Structure 1
Amino acid sequence: MTKQAQQTVLAAELPERGQPLAGGVFVTRYWLNGTERALILLPDELSGPWGEYGVKIEGADSYSDGEANTRAMAEAGSVIAVKALELDGFIPSCLEGQLLMAAKADGLVELNEERYHHLSTQRSAYSAYSMDFGVGWLNDDDKSYERLARPVRSLPIQ
């Protein structure tokens, strides 16, 4: 029997930032599409290209909704997006990547500083955003570049 992932979290049961929650580390509370959510950094690190250079993926250009971006990427055949969804997570958007960087700067999470990480926000048919967690640089890169991705999970807070 497959274990069902946690779907929501009660506000009264939220741990302190940087503490374990739902298979990862609780990063912060944030608002997305009118719902307060808990952002959770998963322990897995993936590697691969974002997608195919020159191909615009409809629905993968949200600056805030990484889950919607990742689902659109997976539907278009992105292997790294499929892997993230199989972990019951997704590739962070630009906003979610910046929230991760803030948590790292606060000493709450550890992120690989050696390579750029894919974010799920597409900039164009040729590039998507990436982040350097060493200094917090937000860049746009060729989609075909091999980069890391650090999946996250986002739970509605009740």
Structure 2
Amino acid sequence: MSIQESIHADVIPAIGAELAGGKLITLYMLAGVEFALIDLGAGAEIQGAWGEYGQDVETTHGDGEKNTRAMAEAGSTIAIQALEAGAFIPSALECHLLMHAKETGVIEHLREDRFYWSSSQYSADYAYCVDFEGGWQDLSGKVSERPARLVRKIPVIR
């Protein structure tokens, strides 16, 4: 599948509509660029460890795509799987945007019995995870096995 590289603001579908192999859940700004955030759904979830204890990976709370690339360069199996799927593991911010989409009925089928990985590191030993039952953010040891919900983002051209 060829992944759309950008979208013009005049042709953005409604929130909840199909876009780039998933569902458009929101528009958001990141470092001065507007993006369309696309949820790839429950069928695209992956499971695994975030990475290794003691390995410091430079990540942010905002840019999951950049974070996932840094994770993959550090050898993270789930990050490599995400990138091979043409997707990424959402950052802590992007996980909360997923939670908002769930609360507003835009997306369904986010497991409520587990914490999902974000691509945002807390420390060399821990990374942030989010519970989609209530939107709680917590820390987990990087070697823990957790699901990751895959997303895409497309720059919006205005």
Q: TM-score, normalised by structure 2?
A: 0.95
Is structure 2 residue 15 aligned with structure 1 residue 17?
A: yes
Q: Which residue of 1 aligns with 2:86?
A: 88
Question: Structure 1 stretches of 5 or more lacking a match?
Answer: none
In 1: Cα distance, 2:89 partner to 2:134 partner: 20
State the alpha-carbon separation in 2 of the partners of residues 56 and 98 from structure 1. Answer: 23
Residue 32 of structure 1 corresponds to 30
Cα distance in 1 for partners of 2:115, 2:93 equals: 16
> Structure 1 residue 155 and structure 2 residue 149: aligned?
no
Map of 1:104 onto structure 2: 102
Percent identity over the alignment is 49
Structure 2: distance between partners of 1:9 and 1:100? 20
What is the rounded CA distance, in whole Å, between the counterparts of 2:106 and 2:19 in structure 1?
Answer: 13
> What is the match of residue 113 of structure 2?
114
SS class of match (2:78): helix
In structure 1, C-alpha distance between the alignment counterparts of 2:19 and 2:2, rounded to whole Å? 15
Where does the alignment leave 5 or more consecutive residues of structure 2 unmatched?
Answer: none
The corresponding residue for 1:140 is: 139
Cα distance, 1:55 vs. partner? 1.3
User: What one-letter code is carried by the residue in structure 1 that aligns with 2:49?
Assistant: P
The structure 1 segments of at least 4 consecutive aligned residues displaced by more than 4 Å after TM superposition are none
Letter in 1 for 2:148: A
**Superposition RMSD in Å:** 0.8
State the Cα distance separating 1:17 from its structure 2 match. Answer: 1.0
Indicate the residue corresponding to 1:66 in structure 2.
64
Mapped to 2, the partners of 1:80 and 1:11 lie a distance apart of: 32
**For 2:113 and 2:7, how far apart are their aligned partners in 1?**
33
Amino acid at match of 1:64: G
Between the aligned partners of 1:127 and 1:30, the Cα distance in structure 2 is 27
C-alpha distance after superposition, 1:91-141 (max 9, x if no partner)? 000110110000100011011212110000000011000000011100111
TM-score for both structures, normalised by structure 1: 0.95
Give the match's secondary structure for 1:81. helix
